[in-house]
Chains A and B, each alone.
Chain A
Amino acid sequence: MIEVENLKKYFSSGMLRKRYVKAVDDVSFHIEKGETLGLVGESGCGKTTIGKAILKLIKPTSGRVIFDGVDLLKLKKKKLRRLRPRMQMIFQDPDSSLDPRMKIGDSIAEPLKLQGDINKGEIKGKILELVETVGLNPEHVNRYPYQLSGGQNQRVVLARILALNPDFIIADEPTSSLDVSVQAQILNMMNDLKREIHLTLLFISHDLEVVRCMSDRIAVMYQGKIVEIGKTEDIFDYAKHPYTNTLISPTSIGDRVILDRDMKNASDYTLGCVFYQRCPFAVERCSKKEPEMIEIGKKHYVLCDRVT
């Protein structure tokens, strides 16, 4: 369904002495139809940038993104626009992704109107249908976003997206600002929808437990690179990359391996492994040679030289 090949996004700063931040550095993966890929990593590791680059909301530096056989990055604006309804993104903060001056109903109607051929009566019916799908009450339609809670607003965002009948959704930390019980409601709903309408999903989060509930496969990201990718069970039971291990160490939070050394800016790296400075198993060669992705099991890849 989605194939990402050698995707790069560098942000440059400075006029004369240009410096680059490698937000996404040579990332490749694919997502099959109906599959959910979880993308985990710390804040600032480039998760959101990947999401935006795939949808071409920001222009990648290089690489290819193939959606249903079409290379999105080579596509002209008009054609891309025609494809857009099929791929959608849910953003982190529900309160700021809705227009505060638009009633919920109008917000949901907007994508429907853009699709063209549809009359007012149909729109009204469709809105009510969508509102029900995402578990809101019809009376919410006439309210404004500030009158709803964060969880309810996230449902509205979801309704807006479902209005377009997308095939592919990128969910960028959709529950990070919500309480556990509300989070459980939203995640369950997304899981149901996935089954019902056969959605393909890229689920971005920093919470490994959440990703575990949602994904068929998981990609772990560190400093712009995917350091490990594999089936959910494999990542949890046979994680090989030292960074993945610090994330999932199953004991309580307090006993978790704590990464002491703070990371440097992504721009300071030139050679060697991205995780070198914080890695408890680093040896000298890690600082000199960039590791390569190796396959260590079925569909299970690791970016580390010391794994054999």
Chain B
Amino acid sequence: MSVLEIIDLKTWFQTQDGLVKAVNSVNLRIEKNERVGLVGETGCGKTVLSFSIIRLLQPTTMIEGKILYKSKDILKLSEREMQKIRGKEIAMILQNPTTALNPVLKVGDQIAEAIWLHQGLKKKEAKEKAVEMLEAVKIPLAEKRANEYPHQFSGGMKERALIAIGLACCTSLIIADEPTRGLDVTTKAQIIKLMKDMTKQRSMLFITHDLEVAAEICDNIAMMYAGELVEYAKTDDVFKNPLHPYTQGIFNSLPNRGLKPIKGMSPSLIDLPSGCRFYQRCDYAREICKNRHPEMVEMENGHFVRCLLYD
């Protein structure tokens, strides 16, 4: 049984400038103990997709489709039922550690809060567990550090604290939103190792714009572009044989693979092109791509791509 199954999900917002179609007909499945990487550029809808799963969006947002968590449709749950799942069964590790922690609460208390809310422990026990969690994420002098405030932590340590909060309860699904953004190489390597070790018996949706980081952690990779998935395959297959021109473009723009950028910019989510969304930036674009919107097709076992080249 899959832990999470997203079926034909659409998430749209009404704004002053028009209707923002942030997530469009996304289908994605995460099996037990599977780690899926969701890779795409800024503004392609990655974070909105994750917020849809954990239901942290404004009530005015239009969400269509199904999100099945252990065969239960999350979108149909009441807010009270959702609270029991959020943090306890599905946890989120947020982007940007500097703003995700509360600056006026001690780090230990912030971790303890998640524990006593969901596990019914007394506050003192929760605090002890929080120190254990800090130790688990390899923060030195955990007991002393638990009584410090976020500003006394470095960027890497704050990220560790966030991971500790996310993993404090025995969650079965973790959504990690760019946990390595803004960290430098050595700290990044530490965090990646930690995430790998701590999520062995768990399922994870790992959001990032960095393909190399995704390769380290994930079993499968889903490429997202302009609100829809354009390629989905095992990590090895994506690296050895990227099919979609967008995936190829991202690879080519890496500094160690030629630094050849993709021309142009991603389309605005308000004004999406009617044909292929990548049409204007694609080197292989043909006349047909302009008007026909490609469907996701399976190429070889488990390698899906949305491109008319393979139609």
Contact = CB atoms under 8 A, between A and B. Distances in A.
Contacts of A68: none
A179 B259 contact: no
B185 A247 contact: yes
Interface stretch (A3-11, A14-22, A180-188): A180-188
Contact of A179 (B42, B155, B186): B42
B154 interface: yes
A253 B187 CA distance: 11
Interface string A123-149: 000000000000000000000000001
A180 B250 contact: yes
Contacts of B259: 184, 187-188, 213
29 contacts: A43-B184, A43-B187, A149-B265, A151-B265, A176-B182, A179-B209, A180-B41, A180-B209, A180-B250, A180-B253, A181-B262, A182-B41, A183-B253, A184-B255, A184-B259, A184-B260, A188-B261, A206-B185, A209-B255, A210-B255, A212-B255, A212-B256, A213-B255, A252-B216, A253-B188, A253-B189, A256-B186, A258-B186, A258-B193
B254 A180 contact: yes
Contacts of A183: 253, 255
Interface residues of B, number: 37
- List the 3 shortest-distance A-B pairs measured between CB atoms, nearest first: A184-B261, A184-B253, A209-B255
Contacts, number: 90
A276 B131 CA distance: 29
A156 interface: no
B215 interface: yes
B140 interface: yes
A187 B196 CA distance: 32
B193 A187 contact: no
Nearest to A257: B189
Interface string A148-184: 0111000000000000000000000000110111111
Counting chain A residues whose Cβ lies within 8 A of the other chain, the interface size class is: 20 to 34
B253 A181 contact: yes
B249 interface: yes
Contacts of A151: 265
Nearest to B40: A179
Contact of A254 (B192, B211, B260): B192
Contacts of B201: none
Contacts of B260: 184
A49 interface: no
Given A179-B41, A184-B261, A262-B140, 6 more contacts: A43-B187, A177-B182, A181-B261, A207-B255, A209-B256, A213-B259
A36 B210 CA distance: 26
With most chain B CB atoms within 10 A of its CB, the pick from A180, A184, A247, A254 is A180
Interface string B205-245: 00001111101100000000000000000000000000000
Interface in A246-296: 246-247, 252-254, 256, 258-259, 262
A149 B44 CA distance: 13
A256 B192 CA distance: 11
Nearest to B188: A253
B158 to A, nearest CB: 13
Nearest to A178: B42
B61 interface: no
A243 to B, nearest CB: 9
B190 interface: yes
Interface string A225-253: 00000000000000000000011000011
Contacts of A185: 261
